[in-house]
Structure 1
Amino acid sequence: MDQRSSAVHRLLAEYVRSPSLRHIRDPRSLTKLALEIVTQLDHDGSVWRKWKGARDTVLSSALDCWIPNDDLLEFLNSLPGQPLTMTDLEQRMRHLIEVEYIASPEPELQAECLDIYHSEKSAGTEMPAIIGKLSNYAASQWPRLHDARRMAKEKRQDEARLARERRLLSYGDCPWTQIKGSKFFYCRKNGRVFQLKPNSDKSWNMYRVTAVDDNEAGEMIGRYRSRADANKVVAKAAYEPEPWR
């Protein structure tokens, strides 16, 4: 028998060792056996022939650690299995990251992880321990990175809002913009100013106004469910003969 047949034979032999015929015939027990057989065959049928056992476990743990590939390859080749090439390593890493979504290295942590790695390597720490430390470090830094990205996003959004506000107030055409301190939105298209006022039911009243002024009582154009709906009307209203009705 080949390796796959031997695996199925072993599972069947273990199953029929049960002294209870009731257990052997039990549908739930048979279902569990079927799943065990399929799992074993899927594992044995993997196209990644060099990545059985500890190698895959080590690599999966090291994906987000920024360990130099040369050093990682040297360690993996010290484990049981056929010799690995750099291509074997790079393509297996790519598969685990892009196909199986096991983990992925965070670019902003590369320099920090490499500093830790070289320090631990110089101290004589073995690779599994270094991987464990780096993995824990990478996980601990996610809150810091998340907060930094959130603050950077908020800064970009605020800068974009200020740029739109300046454009609007300098009489340039501008998409819907909320002037700081105002609860209304304004847009300018074809030199004409439109105002949106929110309603309690989350709909919007749109007005044609002459200036960006919350106190101006403009001419009501209509009531819309969203700014997107209002945009469709603005696209036409901005080019209708004045006054627009």
Structure 2
Amino acid sequence: MTNDDRVSVVRAILGEYVKSPSLRHLRDPYSLTRVATDIVKRLDRQSRTWQKWQGERETLLKSAVGCWIPVQDLRDYLNDLPGPNLTMTDVAQRLRAFEEEPYASYPNDELKDGCLALFAKEKAEGTELPAIIGLLSEHIEHEEERLRLERTEQYKHMREQERLAAEQRLLSGADCKWTQLGRAPQWYCRTNGRTYRLTPTSDKRWDLHRVNAPTADEKGQHIGRYGGRGDATKVVAQIAYQAEPRF
């Protein structure tokens, strides 16, 4: 940042300003305003990009990012503000540049129709564009929260359906990965038609048993104690295809 030419410009102007021997002059509001104005002018002269975008135009268009306001309407309103005449391309590309900035709110396609309908309604009633932008921003915030909650519920429902399907697969006798039955602490898997049960221990390890059915009541044949399900899975992958004694 210290290598930025703008920093050098501001430092040079402030350096000249603080050379004043008068503390009263340094603190004078009028003098402060004058040096601030000088800084802004010098920086504006240095900028060679987006020269049509200054002051109110820049602020208003940036506030409209993500609101799905038609470019034609934005251009018409912005051309009534001080500054050179803007074309459709001027507005569309400046808006796109804002949308691509870090942390910007990129337009949500799911909200496009609702935003356009709300915009048309407010425009027909004569609402001023800055007020419409504020209304659309609130609308988008509420709608995105609604969509977030809906997706959360859909995800929970999907996970529950997957859990029930896994339970049914286990109970049907088919081979399956580690599966819980309801809220029971035990986990079961079936490999090569053989059922195995993992039970958590008080020292945060897992006891592996070979059982006939997915039930906690059966004692089963103890195979070993392991630090995690991954270790037990490796053991099951080996012993499930080996000869085993009847139990």
Please give the TM-score of this superposition, normalised by the length of structure 1.
0.72
The amino acid that maps onto 2:130 is P
Distance 2:245 2:21 in 1: 90
Distance 1:203 1:94 in 2: 55
In the alignment, which residue of structure 1 is the partner of 2:125?
123
Confirm or deny: 8 A CA contact 1:60 1:103 kept in the other structure.
no
Equivalent pairs counted in the alignment come to: 224
Residue 179 (structure 1) aligned to one of 178, 181, 189: 181
Distance 1:135 1:46 in 2: 31
The aligned runs of 1:159-178 (5 Å cut-off) are 159-178=161-180
Residue 159 (structure 2) aligned to one of 131, 136, 157: 157
Q: CA 1:136 to 1:219, structure 2 compared with 1: closer, same or farther past 3 Å?
A: same
The aligned runs of 1:50-89 (5 Å cut-off) are 50-79=52-81, 80-81=83-84, 83-86=86-89, 89=91
* Structure number with larger C-alpha Rg: 2
Percentage of matched positions with identical amino acids: 42
Residue 210 (structure 2) aligned to one of 194, 208, 211: 208
Shift of 1:99: 4.2
Distance 1:97 1:17 in 2: 44
Shift of 1:193: 1.8
Q: CA 1:139 to 1:204, structure 2 compared with 1: closer, same or farther past 3 Å?
A: same
Q: CA 1:191 to 1:96, structure 2 compared with 1: closer, same or farther past 3 Å?
A: farther
Secondary structure of the corresponding residue to residue 209 of structure 2: strand
Confirm or deny: 8 A CA contact 1:177 1:187 kept in the other structure.
yes
Distance 2:223 2:92 in 1: 61
In the alignment, which residue of structure 1 is the partner of 2:17?
14
Distance 2:193 2:44 in 1: 66
Deviating more after overlay: 91-100 vs 116-125: 91-100
Secondary structure of the corresponding residue to residue 16 of structure 1: coil
Shift of 1:98: 4.5
Secondary structure of the corresponding residue to residue 60 of structure 1: helix
**Root mean square deviation of aligned Cα:** 3.5
Confirm or deny: 8 A CA contact 2:75 2:86 kept in the other structure.
no
Please give the TM-score of this superposition, normalised by the length of structure 2.
0.72
| CA distances 1:185-208 after superposition (whole Å, capped 9, x unpaired) | 212223222222123444322222
1:198 is aligned to 2:200: yes
Confirm or deny: 8 A CA contact 1:164 1:177 kept in the other structure.
yes
| CA distances 1:168-225 after superposition (whole Å, capped 9, x unpaired) | 2222222222122433221222322222212344432222222222212122233333
Residue 142 (structure 2) aligned to one of 140, 143, 168: 140
Secondary structure of the corresponding residue to residue 205 of structure 1: strand
Distance 2:57 2:210 in 1: 68
| CA distances 1:127-186 after superposition (whole Å, capped 9, x unpaired) | 111111111222234443332222111101001111212222222222222122433221
The amino acid that maps onto 1:224 is Y
Structure 2 residue runs of 5 or longer lacking an equivalent are 27-38
Distance 1:210 1:61 in 2: 65
Confirm or deny: 8 A CA contact 2:169 2:176 kept in the other structure.
yes
Deviating more after overlay: 222-231 vs 74-83: 74-83
Shift of 1:47: 5.3
In the alignment, which residue of structure 1 is the partner of 2:30?
none
Q: CA 1:161 to 1:42, structure 2 compared with 1: closer, same or farther past 3 Å?
A: farther
Shift of 1:232: 2.9
Distance 2:161 2:175 in 1: 18
In the alignment, which residue of structure 2 is the partner of 1:102?
104
Q: CA 1:238 to 1:52, structure 2 compared with 1: closer, same or farther past 3 Å?
A: farther
Q: CA 1:223 to 1:133, structure 2 compared with 1: closer, same or farther past 3 Å?
A: same
| CA distances 1:97-137 after superposition (whole Å, capped 9, x unpaired) | 44411223334433332221111111111211111111122
Secondary structure of the corresponding residue to residue 189 of structure 2: strand
Q: CA 1:67 to 1:219, structure 2 compared with 1: closer, same or farther past 3 Å?
A: farther
